[in-house]
Amino acid sequence: MEIGFGTGLNAFLTLIEAERSAKKIHYTSLEKYPVEVEKAIKLNYAELIAPEFKEIFEKFHTSPWNETVKISPFFSLKKVETDYTLVDFTEKYDVIYFDAFSPEKQPEMWTTEQFEKLFKCCNFGAVLTTYCAKGDVRRAMQQAGFKVERLQGAPGKREILRAICQLDNLPM
């Protein structure tokens, strides 16, 4: 699952891995402010990362919102146009990309309460990751029950956070 579909980069990278490993992925992404199709395609991620998947990248953005679309034999995508803070999760997830705007821009998304909600929809061993490595965010994740660690970030990001839902942290 992804909080913040944005340009579709996380979904695209996940699809590439699904195709290369022949592993089936059911990808759900929640987005309050969808990026215009033309803008997302102009970013040219497919040409830069994996030109063989260019048509699939475009399909991410042209597929309808609020329904599941089979993108490939190994990847289905459900983009949901919604405010994540209002969602009551009914499914369990193995991976959560928390790609929301910064705590300064959207503080309501970075609270212990919101991370508790995410913790409850995690399978055992699930991983939540975010580019935000602020101490307040790390502590909110820990208070929600996650085991949190700082990792070296991607280029342009000094650090990221990885939070893991472990057995001793699962709610009863």
In angstroms, the CA 132 to CA 134 distance is 6
Write the burial class of residue 106 (CB in 10 Å: 0-12 exposed, 13-18 middle, 19+ buried): middle
pLDDT tens profile 121-166: 999 999 999 999 999 999 999 999 999 999 988 777 788 999 999 8
- The yes-or-no verdict on residue 172 having pLDDT over 70 is no
Are 14 and 71 within one domain? yes
Do 149 and 111 fall within a single domain? yes
11 in the same domain as 77: yes
- Do 43 and 101 fall within a single domain? no
CATH classification at residue 156: 3.40.50.150
Query: Are both 54 and 103 inside the same structural domain?
Result: no
- Whether residue 116 sits in one domain with residue 129: yes
- What is the pLDDT at residue 121? 95
Q: Are 11 and 61 within 8 A, CB to CB? A: no
- The predicted structure's pLDDT at residue 120: 95
Quick one: 70 and 11 in the same domain?
A: yes
Answer whether residue 169 shows pLDDT above 80: no
Residue ending a domain, choose from 81, 100, 115: 81
Number of domains in the chain: 2
Domain limits for position 49: 1-81
Distances (CA, A) of 61 to 9, 11, 65, 76: 11, 11, 9, 13
Convert the pLDDT of each residue in 1-18 to its tens digit. 999 999 999 999 999 999
Residue-level pLDDT at 167: 64
Same domain as 18, residue 5: yes
Do 134 and 97 belong to one domain?
A: yes
Residue 146 to residue 65: CA distance in whole angstroms: 31
- pLDDT higher than 70, residue 170: no
Residue with tokens 């057995």: 167
Residues 39 and 63 in one domain: yes
Does 90 share its domain with 167?
yes
The first and second tokens of residue 52, run together, are 């063989």
Domain boundary among 31, 57, 81: 81
Collapsing DSSP to helix, strand or coil, 59 comes out as: helix
49-105 pLDDT per residue, tens: 999 999 999 999 999 999 999 999 999 999 999 999 999 999 999 999 998 888 898
What pLDDT score does 171 carry?
A: 53
Please say which residue of 57, 81, 105 terminates a domain.
Answer: 81
Quick one: how far is CA 126 from the chain centroid?
A: 12
